[in-house]
Amino acid sequence: MDKSLLYILFVTFSSIASAQVIGTITNTKNEPLPFVNVIIENTYNGTTTNDDGYYELNISESKTYTIIYTYIGYKTVKKKIAVDKFPYTINITLEDESVSLGEVVVSAEDNPANAIMRQAITKRKENLDKINSYKADFYSRGLIRIKDAPKKFMGQDIEIDGLDSTRTGIIYLSETISKLQFLNPDKLKEKITASKVSGDSNGFSFNNASDVDYNFYKNTIEFGNEIVSPIANNAFTYYRYKLEGIFYDDRGNLINKINVIPKRENDPVFSGSIYIVEDQWTIYAVELDITGVQARIPAADVLSLKQSFSYSETSNVWALISQSLDFSYKFLGFKGDGRFTAVYSNYDINPGLTRQDFGREIVAFESEANKKDSLFWKTIRPVPLTSEERTDYIKKDSIQIVKESKPYLDSIDRVNNKFKLGSILGYSYQNSHKDFRLGYDIPISGVQFNTVQGYTARANVFFTKNYDDFKRFFRANAGFQYGFSDDRLRATGSLTYKFNNTNRRFLTLSGGVRTEQFNPSNPITPFINTVSTLFFEDNYMKLYDRTFLQLNYSEELVNGLRLYSGISYERRKALFNTTDQVFTNEENDVYTSNNPLDETAFGVAPFETHNIIKANVTAQINFGQEYLSYPDSKFNVGSDKYPTLVLSYEKGFGSTNSDYNFDQVKVRIFQSFNIADKGRFRYNLRAGKFFNADDIAFMDYQHFNGNQTHVSTAGNYTNVFNNLDYYSGSTNDAYLEAHAEHDFNGFILGKIPLLNKLNFNLVVGAHLLATPDFKPYQEYSIGVDNIGWGKWRFLRVDYIRSYQSGFQSDAILFGLKFF
């Protein structure tokens, strides 16, 4: 008998021996039942069955136990067993539960479901507060499948690990074991002790408890969108209810099965069933669905959430013990489905946790969490793997050994590194074993037009070297742009090194020569400027020539505080129009000059050629920032509850024209947050002050993003004035800029008959700009977002009115989301 066979037998025997209490649960037709709850009576120690109906329940010692088997739609079974050996096998057959109205009187005038739900809503807050804190064990498993995938996308071959010849297969399978601590209302800390990713022995699962924390005792549940709970205070505004029937659990509690019916199909709501315990008015279970449209997740078709709760006499609390989230998706030719399973066990209810027990770290991985072997997982895994999942682990873990070998990597590189006819516009050479890549590309998007350079073409070359799974890397890039009208080649280059994946320290050295907009925020994109210039003879983009050598450094000093700094030596030179080419030429319509100070000043430079040294330092403070700790990595999680504050200081000095030296201090504060079911509110405030800046060069002014094209590609408008000239408000003095926008996200339009079928969103905004030499300017907008059909929602249309000492003008703006 060879060693490999001995090893397989050893693992198999050890796995069975460690399972302890095992069995299969079926219905009366001998069909396996997935997601059956298996719990030791009067405890929160339990497990659930897998898709094959198989379960494994870990029991610490040989003695008598009472095991309870519960599954929605079936009669609860309670078995008293005397465990005297391991493994102890007990198979269970569950019978259909008779759910009927019984003696309940239903009349058109008095819907009994409404009375039940009103009681549940009344007791919602009380039931929420019953669990002030807890400790618990947590297990999660995530699986994502592709059922169909195109062979090509946008002309490129699509190769996805895990797919078979029919373009189907598992593309993600992962598990975690962790310890939880919770404090009402929103403190949740997770310590992940074990993590496993199929086909990646060094990987860490992205399954965590905070991402699947769906508490229906809260008024809204964050589920892509803020979704209204069926027992929210305002639930009757969104739902209708129907009593489907009643049954009794193993304790004699009367359970009401309530059908939850949305009043409007596109509202942020669920549909399905919620089970309410009579007299206690707590949740016994939920079986609820939500569409991708309702959750504002375009790729998703339907998401189905199931939760089961268990009662313990010791704590007198119904606690969540199991949860499954099934989903299907269809987008851009890809079709698939998946499931995320969660099991909560070994609760310690109200152990006296306080806020001092929680910090900003919400998830932490033990250093060896991803190094657990298969025997460990077989011993501790509360939900057994299905045959499909076992096969995926075995196959991908075996393949990984081969795929990480040098001969395999070299063979793949030899194929991929061959120069092909299609490589003319882009080619890369890769050495996977040494993990570096180099190449070039000539992007189609590099073909642009402006009145200074005429048509332009661009080419890039690059070199990338990764270290320790991308935690450190080195990047070298060079870009070349040729202007056909000004007949000039400009080139830039950069060297970037990332030091680690914890404070994400970056150092970048860059230099070269290029054209730049006077506003460094680049308020008009090259594509929109190309169209605006060639088709409408509106050359809004104003450019100057910048030759520079620049050093940038950034790192997170402490959690929530990131430092950015830079110093550059620059030569700046004015540029002028070199072409008057246009596709459509209206009578008496000509291009404006390239001088942003005077559109009629042809041949007049807006500043004199000069050299200058510029230095800047910026501190960004993300208040309330939480984070996930991985071995050698840190991932930050922003908080909607608190704003972000940005403090900056910029200095220009050593200029060949001393008038161009200056100092500027500035502050910015911004935030975005949901207001329950009423949509999302955003604001962005800026203020600043120049010193010793009376005659500085125009590109060093504070510029404000304007828009004269009536087209926008921004996701929201809290950083732009959509009816303001690009440079009319620019200043070298003090300034105040304010933007606010609220997306009602269907809260208003979703309640208007017929219009609610379109699934449009109402958006309103207000904007203010004030400087000493520019009378206060205001913009007000009202628009409709999410315009399109099906999953393709790419258009937003706004009506804008602007005021400055009275009404100034109005405009229609078209927002495009596919750029």
Over the stretch 144-203, which tens digit does the pLDDT of each residue have?
999 988 877 666 667 777 777 778 899 999 999 999 999 999 999 999 999 999 988 888
Distance of CA 705 to the CA centre of its chain: 27
Residue 14 confidence (pLDDT) above 50 = no
pLDDT for 784-803, tens place per residue? 999 988 778 899 999 999 99
Q: In degrees, to the nearest 5, what angle opens at C-alpha 262 toward C-alphas 261 and 263?
A: 115
pLDDT for 627-640, tens place per residue? 999 988 999 998 89
* Residue 20: closest CA among 59, 61, 63, 68: 59
Q: In degrees, to the nearest 5, what angle opens at C-alpha 42 toward C-alphas 40 and 46?
A: 30
Residue 91 confidence (pLDDT) above 50 = yes
Quick one: average pLDDT of 270-289? 97
pLDDT of residue 409: 87
Give the dihedral sign, CA 528/530/533/538: positive
Quick one: average pLDDT of 240-248? 94
Percent of the chain clearing pLDDT 90 (strictly above): 72
DSSP 343-363: EEEEEEE-----GGG--SEEE
pLDDT for 762-779, tens place per residue? 999 999 999 998 999 999
Distance CA 254, CA 276 (A): 9
pLDDT of residue 109: 61
Quick one: average pLDDT of 736-756? 93
Across the chain, what does the average pLDDT equal? 91
Quick one: average pLDDT of 491-505? 97
Least confident of 165-169, 355-359, 363-367, 721-725: 165-169
pLDDT of residue 425: 87
The single residue listed with the structure tokens 């509202």 is 267
Residue 73 confidence (pLDDT) above 50 = yes
Residue 585 confidence (pLDDT) above 80 = no
| Cβ neighbours of residue 106 closer than 8 Å, sequence gap 6 or more | 112, 243
pLDDT band at 18 (very low <50, low <70, confident <90, very high): very low
Residue 5 confidence (pLDDT) above 60 = no
pLDDT of residue 314: 82
Give the dihedral sign, CA 450/452/458/464: negative
pLDDT band at 4 (very low <50, low <70, confident <90, very high): very low
Quick one: average pLDDT of 748-767? 92
Dihedral angle, C-alpha 341, 346, 348, 354, nearest 10 °: -50
Higher per-residue confidence, 105 vs 411: 411
pLDDT band at 428 (very low <50, low <70, confident <90, very high): very high
pLDDT for 517-566, tens place per residue? 999 999 999 999 999 999 999 999 999 999 999 999 999 999 999 999 99
Residue 19 confidence (pLDDT) above 50 = no
Beta strand ranges found along 198-316 (DSSP E): 220-223, 225-228, 239-248, 254-262, 271-277, 283-291, 300-312
Residue 11 confidence (pLDDT) above 50 = no
pLDDT of residue 354: 95
Highest average pLDDT, of 149-153, 403-407, 512-516, comes from 512-516
